[in-house]
Amino acid sequence: MVTGAALVDPTRAERAWAVLATVLDPEVPALSVRDLGIVRDVIEHDDGLEVVLTPTYSGCPATEVIAQDCLAAIAAAGLGAARVTLRRAPAWTTDWISDEGRRKLRDYGIAPPGPVEPGAGVPMRIVRRRAAPALACPRCGSVQTEQLSAFGSTACKSLYRCTACREPFEHFKPI
Protein backbone atom coordinates (compact mmCIF):
# COMPACT_ATOMS: atom_id res chain seq x y z
CA MET A 1 0.00 0.00 0.00
CA VAL A 2 1.34 3.42 -0.97
CA THR A 3 1.02 6.16 1.62
CA GLY A 4 1.51 9.88 1.15
CA ALA A 5 1.91 11.35 -2.31
CA ALA A 6 1.21 9.11 -5.29
CA LEU A 7 4.21 7.63 -7.06
CA VAL A 8 5.13 9.55 -10.21
CA ASP A 9 6.91 8.02 -13.17
CA PRO A 10 10.16 9.85 -13.89
CA THR A 11 10.29 11.78 -17.15
CA ARG A 12 12.53 10.64 -19.99
CA ALA A 13 14.90 13.47 -19.11
CA GLU A 14 15.09 12.30 -15.48
CA ARG A 15 15.76 8.73 -16.62
CA ALA A 16 18.44 10.04 -18.99
CA TRP A 17 20.17 11.84 -16.09
CA ALA A 18 20.30 8.50 -14.24
CA VAL A 19 21.68 6.72 -17.33
CA LEU A 20 24.34 9.41 -17.85
CA ALA A 21 25.56 8.77 -14.30
CA THR A 22 26.78 5.39 -15.63
CA VAL A 23 28.75 6.79 -18.59
CA LEU A 24 32.42 6.81 -17.57
CA ASP A 25 34.86 9.50 -18.62
CA PRO A 26 37.32 7.87 -21.08
CA GLU A 27 40.35 9.65 -19.60
CA VAL A 28 39.45 9.19 -15.92
CA PRO A 29 37.28 6.04 -15.90
CA ALA A 30 36.77 6.29 -12.14
CA LEU A 31 34.10 8.94 -12.65
CA SER A 32 31.05 9.41 -14.77
CA VAL A 33 30.54 12.34 -17.09
CA ARG A 34 27.92 13.52 -14.57
CA ASP A 35 30.43 13.33 -11.69
CA LEU A 36 32.83 15.41 -13.78
CA GLY A 37 30.18 18.06 -14.47
CA ILE A 38 30.42 17.67 -18.24
CA VAL A 39 26.67 17.01 -18.59
CA ARG A 40 25.08 20.44 -18.21
CA ASP A 41 21.48 19.68 -19.12
CA VAL A 42 19.08 17.12 -20.55
CA ILE A 43 16.16 18.66 -22.41
CA GLU A 44 13.11 16.80 -23.62
CA HIS A 45 11.93 17.87 -27.11
CA ASP A 46 9.14 16.52 -29.30
CA ASP A 47 11.71 14.84 -31.57
CA GLY A 48 13.87 13.36 -28.77
CA LEU A 49 16.26 14.21 -25.97
CA GLU A 50 18.97 16.85 -26.17
CA VAL A 51 22.02 16.18 -24.01
CA VAL A 52 24.00 19.37 -23.42
CA LEU A 53 27.71 18.79 -22.77
CA THR A 54 30.45 21.23 -21.85
CA PRO A 55 33.91 19.77 -22.57
CA THR A 56 36.57 20.23 -19.91
CA TYR A 57 38.42 22.38 -22.44
CA SER A 58 37.77 23.27 -26.07
CA GLY A 59 40.51 21.02 -27.43
CA CYS A 60 39.64 17.98 -25.32
CA PRO A 61 40.34 14.93 -27.51
CA ALA A 62 37.74 12.86 -25.65
CA THR A 63 34.77 15.10 -26.51
CA GLU A 64 33.60 13.01 -29.48
CA VAL A 65 33.96 9.75 -27.56
CA ILE A 66 32.01 11.18 -24.63
CA ALA A 67 29.21 12.34 -26.95
CA GLN A 68 29.04 8.92 -28.64
CA ASP A 69 29.06 7.10 -25.28
CA CYS A 70 26.22 9.30 -23.97
CA LEU A 71 24.09 8.65 -27.04
CA ALA A 72 24.82 4.91 -26.93
CA ALA A 73 23.83 4.71 -23.24
CA ILE A 74 20.56 6.56 -23.87
CA ALA A 75 19.77 4.28 -26.83
CA ALA A 76 20.61 1.15 -24.80
CA ALA A 77 18.24 2.34 -22.07
CA GLY A 78 15.43 2.58 -24.64
CA LEU A 79 14.92 6.31 -24.15
CA GLY A 80 14.40 7.01 -27.85
CA ALA A 81 16.03 9.52 -30.15
CA ALA A 82 18.72 11.77 -28.71
CA ARG A 83 21.27 14.29 -29.86
CA VAL A 84 24.23 16.03 -28.24
CA THR A 85 24.76 19.77 -28.19
CA LEU A 86 28.12 21.18 -27.12
CA ARG A 87 27.91 24.31 -24.98
CA ARG A 88 31.32 25.91 -24.53
CA ALA A 89 30.13 28.94 -22.57
CA PRO A 90 30.30 29.28 -19.73
CA ALA A 91 33.58 27.40 -19.79
CA TRP A 92 33.81 24.23 -17.72
CA THR A 93 35.41 24.63 -14.32
CA THR A 94 36.63 22.07 -11.81
CA ASP A 95 34.03 23.50 -9.42
CA TRP A 96 31.49 21.52 -11.47
CA ILE A 97 32.97 18.21 -10.26
CA SER A 98 30.52 16.73 -7.78
CA ASP A 99 31.48 15.90 -4.20
CA GLU A 100 31.04 12.25 -5.14
CA GLY A 101 33.34 12.82 -8.12
CA ARG A 102 36.02 14.32 -5.85
CA ARG A 103 35.77 11.29 -3.58
CA LYS A 104 36.05 8.95 -6.58
CA LEU A 105 39.13 10.84 -7.84
CA ARG A 106 40.80 10.46 -4.43
CA ASP A 107 39.90 6.76 -4.27
CA TYR A 108 41.31 6.31 -7.79
CA GLY A 109 44.61 7.87 -6.71
CA ILE A 110 44.20 11.34 -8.22
CA ALA A 111 44.26 14.34 -5.89
CA PRO A 112 41.05 16.29 -6.58
CA PRO A 113 41.21 20.01 -7.34
CA GLY A 114 40.41 22.56 -4.69
CA PRO A 115 37.66 25.14 -5.15
CA VAL A 116 38.12 28.08 -7.50
CA GLU A 117 36.83 31.37 -6.09
CA PRO A 118 34.52 33.28 -8.48
CA GLY A 119 36.56 35.58 -10.69
CA ALA A 120 39.84 34.15 -9.37
CA GLY A 121 40.42 31.36 -11.88
CA VAL A 122 43.92 30.01 -12.05
CA PRO A 123 45.38 30.12 -15.56
CA MET A 124 47.36 27.03 -16.55
CA ARG A 125 51.03 27.97 -16.63
CA ILE A 126 54.10 26.02 -17.61
CA VAL A 127 56.30 28.09 -15.29
CA ARG A 128 55.03 28.40 -11.75
CA ARG A 129 54.80 32.01 -10.55
CA ARG A 130 53.83 31.41 -6.96
CA ALA A 131 54.11 28.56 -4.53
CA ALA A 132 51.32 26.05 -4.93
CA PRO A 133 49.54 24.94 -1.76
CA ALA A 134 50.60 21.55 -0.44
CA LEU A 135 48.53 18.69 -1.81
CA ALA A 136 47.47 15.78 0.35
CA CYS A 137 48.52 12.39 -1.00
CA PRO A 138 45.39 10.48 -2.03
CA ARG A 139 46.97 7.25 -0.78
CA CYS A 140 48.34 8.09 2.68
CA GLY A 141 47.03 11.62 3.32
CA SER A 142 50.46 13.19 3.92
CA VAL A 143 51.03 16.76 2.68
CA GLN A 144 54.71 16.00 2.18
CA THR A 145 54.35 16.01 -1.60
CA GLU A 146 56.26 17.45 -4.53
CA GLN A 147 55.36 18.23 -8.12
CA LEU A 148 57.31 16.17 -10.64
CA SER A 149 55.75 17.55 -13.81
CA ALA A 150 53.27 20.28 -14.70
CA PHE A 151 51.53 17.77 -16.97
CA GLY A 152 50.39 14.25 -16.22
CA SER A 153 48.74 11.73 -18.53
CA THR A 154 46.50 14.53 -19.85
CA ALA A 155 46.88 18.31 -19.98
CA CYS A 156 44.32 18.75 -17.19
CA LYS A 157 46.42 16.80 -14.68
CA SER A 158 49.89 17.27 -13.17
CA LEU A 159 52.21 14.62 -11.75
CA TYR A 160 53.20 14.57 -8.06
CA ARG A 161 55.01 12.27 -5.67
CA CYS A 162 54.46 11.76 -1.97
CA THR A 163 57.75 11.89 -0.09
CA ALA A 164 56.18 10.08 2.89
CA CYS A 165 54.89 6.92 1.16
CA ARG A 166 57.00 7.46 -2.02
CA GLU A 167 54.00 6.84 -4.29
CA PRO A 168 53.41 8.93 -7.42
CA PHE A 169 49.96 10.39 -8.05
CA GLU A 170 48.21 12.76 -10.39
CA HIS A 171 46.46 15.97 -9.41
CA PHE A 172 43.44 17.21 -11.33
CA LYS A 173 44.27 20.88 -11.93
CA PRO A 174 41.77 23.47 -10.70
CA ILE A 175 40.56 25.66 -13.57
**Residues 6+ away with beta carbon under 8 Å from 124:** 155, 173, 175
Q: Quick check: 6 pLDDT over 80?
A: no
CATH number 3.30.300.130 is the correct assignment for the domain at 12-86:
yes
Q: What is the mean pLDDT of the chain?
A: 86
Cα gap 47→92, rounded to integer Å? 28
Question: Which neighbouring-strand residues pair with 108?
Answer: none
Q: Where are the domains of the chain?
A: 12-86, 103-172
Q: pLDDT tens digit string along 8-24?
A: 568 999 999 999 999 99
Predicted TM-score (pTM) of the model is 0.70
